[in-house]
Structure 1
Amino acid sequence: MPAWLQTLVRPLLNLGLIFQISIGIVAGVLLALFAPEAAGSFSLLGQLFISALKAVAPILVFVLVAAAIAGHRQGQPTHIRGVILLYVIGTLLAAVVAVVASFIFPTELSLDLQEVSGNPPGSIIDILKNLLLSVVTNPVSALMDANFIAILAWAIGLGLMLRNSAESTRAMLNDLSDAVSGIVHLVIRFAPLGIFGLVANTLADTGISALLDYGRLLGVIVGCMLFVALVTNPLIVFLKTRQNPYPLVFACLRGSAITAFFTRSSAANIPVNLELSERLKLDPDTYSISIPLGATINMAGAAITISVITLAAANTLGIPVDFPTALLLCVVSSLAACGVSGVAGGSLLLIPLATSLFGISTDVAMQVVAIGFVISVVQDSTETALNSSTDVLFTAAACRAAEERAG
């Protein structure tokens, strides 16, 4: 490498990953604004980055969970129960925030779009049935399809069976875990380039013109997510830890939400969250399980999206919504959100399930889903950023609260 290029690049490499990602975002925006024709040519960088994360995430989760459980000894503390309780409370409160905001800022939709394809589930029973069937999926298929429910189930089962294995077997699992983690660290080092490509291509393709027609709806959704991220979640963390929550909140937003915003996939962001948990010095036995579990069931952003768009549809059709029905919607949205797959746009096809509470036909509901896809450039990105960063936040809160009690 020429000396002048080394002089230029070295200061950038010495910056932290967050600063490098910020530079990538700014560069992507500038390229999309001033040279949109050239921006599309950099889309390959973003595609490679997301594909690499999605490729490594299933095997990483499988190996980490199996190694953590196999190496666990009786009497070692884990905090999974506390984390799961925070996941449930956080998702339910997010739905409540969305319902309250929808009453304060009612929105209406233009239901004149063409229907979109998709097979939404018919009931909560269908969602729970699908989750149970996912648990017993063939493990090879689960790894190939990134079915994290099945991956978790098989990893937990294998880990439990190996708890009494030879020390050399557990050491081999730990070495394998370290090797896969090393690959993940290498992939994440390319995040600035990947996000640069994603930003440039997305802005060049869509711009913001398509979002202006639904600015009020998008404003309510994003406003609810910001409120949950900056008010509700910090309050939950404070009640759990009795400490100032904002240093931890902002650390999780910086370390997780930024990449999740652009990857738009909780599953793809699992490696990022695992590395952040390691940097925060959390309990590996806890975060190796709670992070992939959170990518499946901790869906505050999805609960907000489902609740706000459903109430917007009801308001458009002049359907009155009383308090008991709104409360039921919070519960249904929370349960449905837990069935959202950790991929982009997963929450939108669950909207017909929620609209069925108000007797809205499937044809109309799917038009509402189409509107959701129009605003998904921002909605889905913000939703994923909230979901994924909250996984680390609540894991850290549970771990630190347990450490305080032990200390």
Structure 2
Amino acid sequence: MKKKMGLVPKLIIGIIAGILIGSYAPEVLVKVLVTFSSLFASFLKFVIPFIILGFVIAGIADLATGAGKLLGVTTAISYGSTIIAGSIAFLIATLVFPSFISADVASSIGDPEAGMLGPIFTIPLEPMVDVTAAIVFAFMMGLGISTLRNHGKGETLYGMAMEFQEIVTKTLSTIIIPLLPIYIAGTFANITFAGQVWKILGIFWKVYLIVIPLHLIYITAMFFVAGTIDSKNPIQMLKNQIPGYLTAVGTQSSAATIPVNVQCAEKNGVSKQIREFVVPLCATIHLAGSMISITSFTVAVLMMNGMPHGVSVILPYILMLGVAMVAAPGAPGGAIMSALPFLPMVGIPSDGGLASLMIALYITQDSFGTAANISGDNAIAVIIDHLNDKWNKKSEKQKTA
């Protein structure tokens, strides 16, 4: 049986093919590829509000199935960790990136979209609902369904939300994700034709050298915090996490890694009740690794274009992404797809060349971001298990008093 080629190799082939076509192919061929990318971008812009509706409604509504206090504390720790990860990434990017993305470099690159070829034709395809309306409606419905389910109602709406999520997931897995390499090839062909590709790639390999070690440092810090709280050896817990980390690197999916991650949590001494509750839940709501990557790439793109990238620009973006990426699809690149609608918050169009550049940069390291996400899940499981023990002991004392 033949083994299918993964998305990352396809994406790398797409980037190489795009650079070769942009360098050597006739202009008409570049325009054909650019036309495909333009049509794909229009479709992607049309689908984005449905991605928000499909995943945020189902993700928030699904939280009703948890056990009261455990659910609230796990969600709060997961969100807090994701925001802290993004904030650290922003701080590191602000301090380190200027060493290789100087004002001179930014001015030499200018606008990466300047000098690009336009499509041969376009098809007007406006989204059925705008992004802001989709976000507000998704929160209203998600919280409403969650409240109804806590009172024994809302199962019909919950079923509709979950089935709509399946439709969106199917659209991502059968249309958008498979066509991404061609879309990226068109973007890189156009950037190459405009004469900017080597300058841009010359910056981003340095960004990778910062982002991936930052993932590992953050995971290590999380296990040291968990070990301190629960009086466990963080080094041993990190060793126990290796199978989960490697599985996530191979699958690029938090969901697919859940069974292995539950076994890792067991080796770390997490009780059955907690590991079977926290690990699957955090697989959808804890995205510290993804946040580190997306924040870093966003700051780099903004710096390259000489655009504002201060705290007032990035912090609201991080706070929104921490919620918007809830229940990001298990397909590779799910986090960046969920983040696309919010790129305009920092001044990056969600359907242009800069957005496709962000997609390419993110997905080529998605394995490591996902591995950081799920490794952090088990550090949270250790903390929640410790807190649950304390609450149980306190409850038993109150009963016997």
What residue is the counterpart of 1:166 in the other structure? 152
Separation (CA, whole Å) in 2 of partners of 1:220 and 1:24: 19
Q: Is the 8 A contact 2:314 2:346 kept in 1?
A: no
CA distance in 2, matches of 1:252, 1:208: 36
Equivalent residue for 1:199? Answer: 184
Paired with 2:55 and 2:86, the residues of 1 have a C-alpha distance of 23
Q: Does 1:299 align with 2:295?
A: yes
Q: Is the 8 A contact 1:283 1:399 kept in 2?
A: yes
> Deviation string for 1:316-368 (max 9, x for gaps)?
xxxxxxxxxxxxx8755642543788337937956xxxxxxxxxxxxxxxxxx
Deviation at residue 253 of structure 1 after TM alignment: 6.4
Quote the offset at 1:145 in angstroms.
1.8
Residues 47 and 230 of structure 1: CA distance in aligned 2, closer, same or farther (over 3 Å):
same
Q: Which residue of 2 aligns with 1:63?
A: 57
Offset from partner CA, 1:276-297 (integer Å, 9 cap, x none): 33222274544555569x88x9
Q: Which residue of 2 aligns with 1:338?
A: 318
Per-residue deviation at 1:236? 0.7
Determine if contact 2:248/2:367 at 8 Å carries over to the other structure: yes
- 1:39 paired with 2:36, answer no
- Asked if the contact 2:63/2:146 (under 8 Å) is kept, the reply is yes
- Select the residue among 75, 96, 99 that pairs with 2:94: 99
User: Residues 70 and 220 (structure 1 numbering): CA distance in 2 closer, same or farther, change over 3 Å?
Assistant: same
- Post-superposition Cα deviations, 1:6-36, rounded to whole Å, max 9, x if no partner, equal xxxxx6xx645x6256346526744762766
Give the distance between the partners of 1:210 and 1:340, measured in 2 at CA.
35
Find the residue that maps to 1:162 and give its secondary structure: helix
Change beyond 3 A, Cα 1:249–1:303: farther
Distance 1:155 1:387 in 2: 33
Structure 1 runs not aligned, ≥5 long: 1-10, 117-141, 257-275, 315-328, 351-368
What TM-score, normalized to structure 1? 0.56
**Is the CA contact (8 Å cut-off) linking 1:70 and 1:161 kept in structure 2?**
yes
CA distance in 2 between partners of 1:112 and 1:227 (Å): 23
**Structure 1 residues 160 and 298: CA distance shift in structure 2, 3 A:** farther
Structure 1 counterpart of 2:174, from 186, 189, 192:
189
Q: Report percent identity of matched pairs.
A: 11
- CA distance in 1 between counterparts of 2:98 and 2:247 reads 32
Q: Give the direction of change, closer, same or farther, for the CA distance of 1:347–1:303 in structure 2 (3 Å limit).
A: farther
Q: Is the 8 A contact 1:287 1:395 kept in 2?
A: yes
Determine the structure 1 residue equivalent to 2:220.
238
Give runs of aligned pairs for residues 89-238 of structure 1, distance below 5 A: 89-102=84-97, 104-105=99-100, 107-109=102-104, 144-147=129-132, 149-151=135-137, 153-166=139-152, 169-170=154-155, 172-187=156-171, 188-191=173-176, 193-207=178-192, 209-211=194-196, 214=199, 219-220=202-203, 222-224=205-207, 226-238=208-220
- Change in Cα spacing, 1:182 to 1:348, as seen in structure 2 (3 Å) is closer
Structure 1 position 200, deviation (Å): 3.3
Residue 94 of structure 1 and its aligned partner are, at CA, apart by 1.9
1:26 equivalenced with 2:13 (yes/no) = yes
Instruction: Look up the match of 1:280.
Output: 257
| Alignment partners' CA distance in 1, 2:364 and 2:146 | 32
Q: Conserved in 2, the CA contact under 8 Å of 1:300 and 1:387?
A: no
Given that residues 184 and 360 in structure 2 are in contact (C-alpha distance below 8 angstroms), is that contact kept between their aligned partners in structure 1? Answer: no
Q: Offset of 1:232 from its aligned partner?
A: 1.0
State the TM-score, normalizing by the size of structure 2: 0.56
**Which residue identity is paired with 2:66?**
H
Q: Aligned with 2:343: secondary structure? A: coil
Alignment pair present for 1:85 and 2:80: yes
Q: Distance in 2 between matches of 1:331 and 1:51?
A: 27
CA RMSD after TM alignment: 5.0
Is the counterpart of residue 380 in structure 1 residue 358 in structure 2? Answer: yes
Question: How many angstroms does 1:149 deviate by?
Answer: 4.7
Indicate if the aligned counterparts of 2:215 and 2:369 stay in contact, CA closer than 8 A: no
Q: Is the 8 A contact 1:98 1:304 kept in 2?
A: yes
Question: For residue 377 of structure 2, what is the aligned residue in structure 1?
Answer: 399
Distance apart, 1:207 and its partner CA: 1.8
> Is the 8 Å Cα contact of residues 245 and 372 (structure 2) preserved in structure 1?
no
Aligned AA for 1:179? E
Contact 1:24/1:193, CA 8 A, preserved across alignment: no
State the distance in 2 between where 1:20 and 1:111 align.
33
Is the contact made by 1:24 and 1:195 (CA closer than 8 Å) also made in structure 2?
Answer: yes
Aligned residues: 308
Unpaired runs of at least 5, structure 2: 113-126, 224-233, 259-277, 322-338, 387-401
Measure the CA separation in 2 of the matches of 1:192 and 1:330. Answer: 32
Task: Give the counterpart letter for 2:255 in structure 1.
Answer: E
